[in-house]
Structure 1
Amino acid sequence: MISLFMTFSDPRGERQVEPNDLAAVAALVGSVPEMTEGLLFTPLEQSVDHPYRADGLGPAFALQLRFSNLFACEAAMDRGSVLARLAVGAGLSGLAGLDVTHQVMLTRAFPVEAAAYPASTNVSCSYLVHYPGPAEDMNAWNLHYLEHHPAIMRTFPNVRQVEIYTRIDWVDRLPSRRVEHMQRNKLVFDSPDALSLAVNSEVIKRMRADFLQFPPFSGGNKHFPMLTRTVRPGV
């Protein structure tokens, strides 16, 4: 599966997307041809305790759009497309003037013990992580990370989803700025409180111990907890 990430950032950290604009974006995302699922990420309404709060507030808004294959994703990024409109704000005041970047990546999903959300869950909470890179040896990096880190991630209490995204080559005609982070990750929980409980558990010690074994890389990493809304095709 292929994931397209679009990130809308305010360098001053002052902007937020209002509910009306969010509903308009959801309608646009639902109309993207051959998209299988869209995820809308917004900042938490209140801060939560997590180990990487020093990374800042994160983007004002972000999207993850899933496609079954690369060709469908590339076709959706042509000039005049819905995604091209979103990349320049789609006429919405909440998106106008933000710094917009995009990246297409391969999705690697890993099984978890309890993937089903409680029936009362309407908005989940995602822990978005990215490594800008580069690594000295990308093959060595990927081999170590994929063989070790997901096995630890899936032991977080009540984690609903573990995904790791790795780089691919792609073509597009979007007016936003391309980025090529060497890796992204996503952990999903029922709520901000559930995320905070998990990432402050004993599991984080195992994560840190494995981090010290990573093959050499530069660029650090960033961690942002974000509220997550799901959009289905045709919505």
Structure 2
Amino acid sequence: MQVCLFLIGASGQQPLLDIAPLQCIDGLRSLVVHEPITQRVDPRIPPAADAPSSVLQLYFDELATFEAAARRDGPIDRALKEPLIAGRFTQQVMAVRALAPLGLHSEGRVQRCTYLVAYEGPAEDFDIWLAHYLQHHAPLMSTLPALRELEIYTRIECTSGLPCARADVMQRNKVVFDDASALADALASPVRDLMRRDFHTLPPYQGGTPHFAMRSTYGNLATH
């Protein structure tokens, strides 16, 4: 199972770093950069005022490979220039469940539109929570019209020498579409109505569920 490092930029900060050096990190399988969009795409949830300035996703095939890259003064630390990321980003490493990978990987830069969702938690019983979510909610999500990608992330314990505070979100989700119009259509579809009904049957949990619509860049980011 892949692991993903989330680097989450603080709201209101300068959005992006020079991320070109990240492409040279040994073991990095893919890199996605998300930037917030301001237009309203969700008929039920207005755009969040505290959207992150940017979100970086760094994917690795194994936890040990990530930990080697994320050690203090290691490749990620050097690539992101420690003084610039300290205080501007939080970090969280999560296990990746890719439930609807539909051919996003292409040569060169690819632009998509993503809805990032976090369940802050904790759940009353996480095993019951996750089993219900994967068995009931995820299959509904996978039928959203024009969906290009669906991933569900759960937190894991690991070592990291990056100088960022750690986030401790219970679960994250990502649904990906070709553009903002496709995302808006999916969120206004009957499938979303079914998802909202199922949402009210989720096992007990605490915390918020922030939703962020993002413009996402996949592929060759060296000239970003």
Task: Provide TM-score, normalisation by structure 2.
Answer: 0.88
Structure 2, gaps ≥5 residues long: none
Which amino acid in the other structure matches residue 132 of structure 1?
E
Match of 1:106 in 2: 95
Whether the 8 Å contact between 1:4 and 1:105 is mirrored in structure 2 is yes
Q: How far apart are the structure 1 equivalents of 2:46 and 2:24? A: 35
Cα distance in 2 between the residues matched to 1:131 and 1:187: 14
Structure-2 residue corresponding to 1:8: 9
Question: How far is 1:88 from its partner?
Answer: 3.7
- Structure 2: distance between partners of 1:122 and 1:234: 13
Q: 1:52 aligns with which of 42, 45, 60?
A: 45
Q: CA deviation at 1:31?
A: 1.7
Change (3 A) 1:125 1:212: same
In structure 2, how many angstroms separate the alpha carbons of the residues matched to 1:165 and 1:87? 27
How far apart are residue 231 of structure 1 and its match?
Answer: 3.7
1:142-181 map, 5 Å: 142-181=130-169
| Count of residue pairs the alignment pairs up | 219
Shift of 1:96: 8.1
Deviation at 1:80, TM superposition (A): 1.2
Shift of 1:28: 2.0
User: Identity over the aligned pairs, expressed in percent?
Assistant: 37
Is 2:193 the partner of 1:205? yes
SS class of match (2:110): coil
> CA RMSD, aligned part only?
2.6
Aligned mates of 2:128, 2:210 — CA distance in 1 = 21
The residue type equivalent to 1:192 in the other structure is: A
Distance in 1 (CA, whole Å) between partners of 2:54 and 2:86 is 12
Whichever residue aligns with residue 7 of structure 1, its letter is: I
Supply the AA of the counterpart residue of 1:189.
F
TM-score normalized by the length of structure 1? 0.84
Measure how far apart 1:127 and its partner are: 0.6
Deviation at 1:83, TM superposition (A): 2.4
* 1:73 matched residue in structure 2: 66
Q: Which moved more, 1:53-62 or 1:142-151?
A: 53-62
Secondary structure of 1:42's partner? strand
Note the C-alpha offset of 1:89: 5.5
Q: Which amino acid aligns with 1:147?
A: Q
Deviation at 1:143, TM superposition (A): 0.6
Deviations 1:133-161 (A, max 9, x none): 10010101011001111110011110000
Q: How does 1:181-192 map to 2 (within 5 A)?
A: 181-192=169-180
